[in-house]
Structure 1
């Protein structure tokens, strides 16, 4: 039986229709939370709120609507994100701004607008960063920058609002089996070969599951991590710990 650590808690999760966001929403709901899912499209899962998080007005209104309905916010999980494939030279300013807007500015705005209510509930924020905020894959200048910025924002919020009883942490997933990564694999010239061998870059010799990320997020959002703040937890099957060797 799953422990009900979030009974009577109002939890906001962005981008909860698929991938890591959906897994987090399902896990938190299973543990008793009332989950409010914010995303661009409509969802029949949980209590869904349709907003465009690339717009400041929508970020503000989404928080206002949730607080008006439930009277409080206990946890904010900033998960929604996008990733575009292009080299630095080929990245347009439009693509750069869109990536930064969704991946970094939206978490900043949602955290800002939710902060008065999180202070009231002595709640917490969990940001979904990436190992690409620590290292870099090719052709991800905008994405890497946005995730590194999100890690920095995490530490800043923790420092500024620890005195208010609000904690803020981030998780940095590595290669997780999501729709986004599956689309990337399918774009490869030899997708079957890539899919078969991607696990080998990890000491655990496999890729990760969304449920494994959700498990870490639920712990960080719970009172069991009450003395943890300002941290970025890597969850990558040991990939960042492994020094690569040439194929001999």
Structure 2
């Protein structure tokens, strides 16, 4: 496909999981794709970066712009989760999650706005259903993802008239390397897989490609009248009421 022919995309956390699927989909649709994360990425042009460093986002955007001459699509995907109740979480742990999951996307957007203004570009932020609901022990993670959803709306409102669209995707359970590690830590992994599949009305868990397909649409001109929205990709999980 040539949907993004001549366009340049930056995907943070693009070396694995959802980010890798997004990077591959944008590339397959014609974009020149850069990824940014800790460590090298053998599949894509990349920038090695520590997103806990407040100077890193501007450096990443500058390097991509210098190497490609433009930026059309920014996908804020990088993030992590540490489980703890609020009373058990240290301030350092809380602040680190805020820096990576919320401050880094804010700084990346801020640095990218001049480039995106020039190209009438698109921003897609990866939030979570945990920015809407919450699993136990996820106080900080849920707070950051709710913040991403709010930031998405604010950027859309403030910069829409400049031709910059900003939307978010809120994935549910997606089969990634990290979720597989979690499943294998269960006493009966096979039983857990069956159980997690049954809680989804579509009868299965999600694939990274399910998220990537929506991200590609939101980054494309096909969604040109869509702005400030958060799209849930969870196989119907959040609309299904639990049985008594």
Q: TM-score, normalised by structure 2?
A: 0.98
Q: Deviations over 1:186-235 (max 9, x none)?
A: 23333332122101111111101111110000000000000000000001
1:70 and 2:102 correspond: no
1:135 Cα deviation after fit: 0.2
1:173 Cα deviation after fit: 0.4
Q: Deviations over 1:11-56 (max 9, x none)?
A: 0000011110000000000011000100011111110110111111
Equivalent residue number for residue 118 of structure 1: 116
Equivalent residue number for residue 192 of structure 1: 190
Equivalent residue number for residue 45 of structure 1: 43
Equivalent residue number for residue 199 of structure 2: 201
Count the aligned residue pairs: 244
Residues 14-33 of structure 1: matches in 2 within 5 Å?
Answer: 14-33=12-31
1:234 and 2:232 correspond: yes
With 87-96 and 215-224 compared, the bigger mean Cα shift is at 87-96
Equivalent residue number for residue 59 of structure 1: 57
2:86 and 2:222 map into 1 onto residues whose CA distance is: 42
Q: Deviations over 1:123-160 (max 9, x none)?
A: 01000000000000111001000000000000000000
Q: Equivalent residue of 1:11, what SS?
A: strand
Equivalent residue number for residue 177 of structure 1: 175
Structure 1 residue ranges (4+ consecutive) displaced by more than 3 angstroms after TM superposition: none
Equivalent residue number for residue 142 of structure 2: 144
Equivalent residue number for residue 86 of structure 2: 88
* Gapped regions of structure 1 (runs ≥ 5): none
1:48 and 1:60 map into 2 onto residues whose CA distance is: 15
Q: Deviations over 1:44-92 (max 9, x none)?
A: 1110110111111111111111111111100000000101122222211
2:29 and 2:163 map into 1 onto residues whose CA distance is: 22
1:233 and 1:26 map into 2 onto residues whose CA distance is: 20
RMSD: 0.9
Equivalent residue number for residue 167 of structure 1: 165
Q: TM-score, normalised by structure 1?
A: 0.96
* Gapped regions of structure 2 (runs ≥ 5): none
Equivalent residue number for residue 153 of structure 1: 151
2:171 and 2:98 map into 1 onto residues whose CA distance is: 18
Q: Equivalent residue of 1:8, what SS?
A: coil
